[in-house]
Amino acid sequence: MRSLILTAWMALALGAQAQSQPRYYTDSDVRQRVVNFNVYGQPGTVFRRIGADLNGVQPEVTDKFLPRLMGETGFSADFNLRPLYLGVGVGQTWVNYGHRLENGDVQEVKARYWAIPLRAGLVTHLSDEVTLEAWPTVTYRKAISFEHSTLANPVYVDQFWTAGLQVGSTVAINEYVSFLLMGVMDYGFGDLEAGATWRSYTELPLFLGVRAGLRVSL
């Protein structure tokens, strides 16, 4: 009986000692996230740059650009190719803006585009739950519809490219799902109304927005 009690006491002592020892993990023990799936919504607005300004030439501007609320929704997948993430997605963008002409008339534009973003990401883990991320992005956009308040058959660009940057953070909800919040800037390389006869200068869109969504990491 005495030997049985002594054996049990030694087993408990060894178990307690094992639990008190820190456990170290090797790289092979740590689970690597291979792919992220993101779904997002992005309210924002659009401003313009006069194309000739980029060449140091200031043309005579005869109208005032009127930013309006716009939005984008989409889905993307990001692949972990350490140390970078590479991603591709698909979504739709709703663009709204206006022009106030010299005579006071206001022309409104409402357009919708397919968006196919290609991006590379730098992701820094601030903790187990929080990341800080920067994503340079190039996006192909193709027109779905284009409506002008005063022109029955408006002249517009069927497709164009933008390039920009997404900077923000994610906060883990659980092991697989995170909430994401990012600021977005996107610069357009083409005039949305190229060929418009009422102005002689080119205007290039500058999109600004805030992106919020969910990420599933596998």
Mean pLDDT score across all residues of the chain = 86
Q: What is the CATH number of domain 32-217?
A: 2.40.160.20
**Structure tokens of 41?**
């919504």
Residue 118 has pLDDT above 90, yes or no: yes
Domain boundaries, the chain: 32-217
Reported pTM:
0.81
pLDDT surpassing 70 at residue 166: yes
What is the rounded distance in angstroms from the CA atom of residue 119 to the CA atom of residue 92? 17
Mean pLDDT of 187-201: 83
Instruction: Give the C-alpha separation, 153 to 144, whole Å.
Output: 15
List pLDDT tens digits, range 46-83: 999 887 666 667 778 889 999 999 999 999 999 998 88
Strand partners, 60: none
- Residues ≥6 apart with Cβ < 8 Å to 52: 58, 59, 201, 202
